Structure 1
């Protein structure tokens, strides 16, 4: 991250103000005495936020309260891009971030973000729990970040207000919202739809007003953001199972004793189990909510969709190291 441009003054000042307020919270010690800080763009009840809070409780229990974590959820400290840079120079200790902003920082994260590279949630979890996941976590260190854990972000599906999507031909001409990511844009365009990058917070209104025809995301988001109120069709393409990463500032990590570093890694590993438990529960609840609604849900044969992704993979996978990661991911799949 040393080659990245400096983060905006506004983001830095906002984060500094919020972090400064943490030291004034009742019962909280100043950061230097062991209360570590965490950032997450998700709301406070989201599984990743609760997992890092679980990690903080684990640390507190193991150290008699000497170490703990105060999580600033809901984007209080800024966007993921801004907080990632703040974390790299030690302004934030822990940061949960999606792989999308990591793709522009570390090329080894790109294979995990490829469409249809994972067969299922189980396949994705096997990969991130293996030496492949360890390699991707280790690749963050040259960017002044310590990769600690890889969390779920669920299977992403297409949903829209026009028609069920059963084949790529059904996507022809649909205006589909995507994040401001070159990879997402290339994926949707390759499937025959028109990728429309708009901010996440504008999806509901844009669907309601017909500015876009559809979007794509995981089950909890489809329900939690009430998109199922304005999208009549949910098609289970599971085109992406891109995970998320918990990173720690390298300077913060190196400021710990060797014993505390091991304890932080132990706590992070334990938090993955808790995160998955909470995530699976959230997915089940979202599925039930959709089943009780008027949304029409359809299964999809993913083979013809995946067949259109080869040019996308070739566009973003450029190095032998990336190609090696992709080969090992595929070798761990259900059909391998």
Structure 2
């Protein structure tokens, strides 16, 4: 009798323990599956970081904590290329990337980062929200990527130099300017008259400090956030393109989410992009004022010379058709 009683109690105990282990494993599995790490290379003072934090808060509210988000600034998960590769192979990583990098996969997307393709944030946003541009980004899914939103505005990109005032392309002759390794940006910097040097963003400050590079091309929030005003004397407002960035995840990870989570993430990513963009627009004048107070000279530039110098790139890089599509769309 005692043995039978013991057996029953022991069996019940094992059942409870087994159920608890299975439940715990299931919870842990779900927690891993429904977690996202948003990565970028700019500082915590940048509007992109604040947009990512806004997205985190809103998604966690709408999913009742079912999709947990952590934000990693300052290249903590590697450079943008590293982040994109992690996403492609299935990691739960989202990257605030750029059109020029994605153009290495779907060429048409790169037209957004061609020199002087758009003249303002409003024009650039109108392009990325169009049906034809969304069709281009959809092609990325065949290569392992899912664009959640493409409306994260980081600002117009300008040329910042250690000690060389730049007003015309000839001023950039022999000047080493940091840019990314993408074909579009390398070709643009070269056409503007400089020698392009590919460096990760985290390497720009020491590169300028040590004279490895003479300058860089970047937007005001990034220049300010990286404290480059401590190592450059001039910023020339070339405004060679408006950096409207995508938030990108891996398609396999995205497809692993429940449908309602997918919908929430897509919707909130676009809302967060607009939120971050408005912060960018509001703060640019403040960034400029603070850098001028720190000793930086900001030069107004007649962009005509740079437009003429870079215009042949559309034919050279095969973007004449995409350029016509966008110009026709904007002129409707």
TM-score range normalised by the length of the shorter chain: 0.7 to 0.9
CA distance in 2, matches of 1:125, 1:103: 18
Task: Normalising by structure 1, report the TM-score.
Answer: 0.80
Q: Hey, what does 1:325 align to over in structure 2?
A: 322
Q: In terms of mean alpha carbon deviation, does 213-222 or 194-203 score higher?
A: 194-203
- 1:190 maps onto 2:187 in alignment: no
Q: Hey, what does 2:272 align to over in structure 1?
A: 271
- 1:181 maps onto 2:172 in alignment: no
Cα distance change of structure 1 residues 288 and 136 upon mapping to structure 2, 3 Å threshold:
farther
Please show how residues 102-113 of structure 1 align to structure 2 within 5 Å.
102-113=102-113
Cα distance change of structure 1 residues 37 and 295 upon mapping to structure 2, 3 Å threshold:
closer
SS of equivalent to 2:165 = coil
Task: Normalising by structure 2, report the TM-score.
Answer: 0.81
Note the aligned Cα RMSD (angstroms): 2.6
Q: Does the CA contact (< 8 Å) of 1:126 and 1:332 recur in 2?
A: no
Q: CA deviation at 1:238?
A: 0.3
Cα distance change of structure 1 residues 294 and 332 upon mapping to structure 2, 3 Å threshold:
farther
> Gaps (5+ residues) in structure 1?
1-27
Q: Does the CA contact (< 8 Å) of 2:41 and 2:201 recur in 1?
A: no
- 1:65 maps onto 2:65 in alignment: yes
Cα distance change of structure 1 residues 133 and 288 upon mapping to structure 2, 3 Å threshold:
farther
Q: Hey, what does 1:21 align to over in structure 2?
A: none
Q: Does the CA contact (< 8 Å) of 2:48 and 2:154 recur in 1?
A: no
Q: Hey, what does 2:312 align to over in structure 1?
A: 311
Deviation digits for residues 300-333 of structure 1, max 9, x if unmatched?
Answer: 121221112133222322xxxx544322323455
Larger of the two Rg values belongs to structure: 2
Corresponding residue pairs, total? 304
> Gaps (5+ residues) in structure 2?
1-27
Cα distance change of structure 1 residues 323 and 120 upon mapping to structure 2, 3 Å threshold:
same
Q: Does the CA contact (< 8 Å) of 2:100 and 2:183 recur in 1?
A: no
SS of equivalent to 1:139 = helix
Q: Does the CA contact (< 8 Å) of 1:31 and 1:37 recur in 2?
A: no
Cα distance change of structure 1 residues 254 and 219 upon mapping to structure 2, 3 Å threshold:
same
Q: Hey, what does 1:86 align to over in structure 2?
A: 86
Q: Does the CA contact (< 8 Å) of 2:235 and 2:296 recur in 1?
A: yes
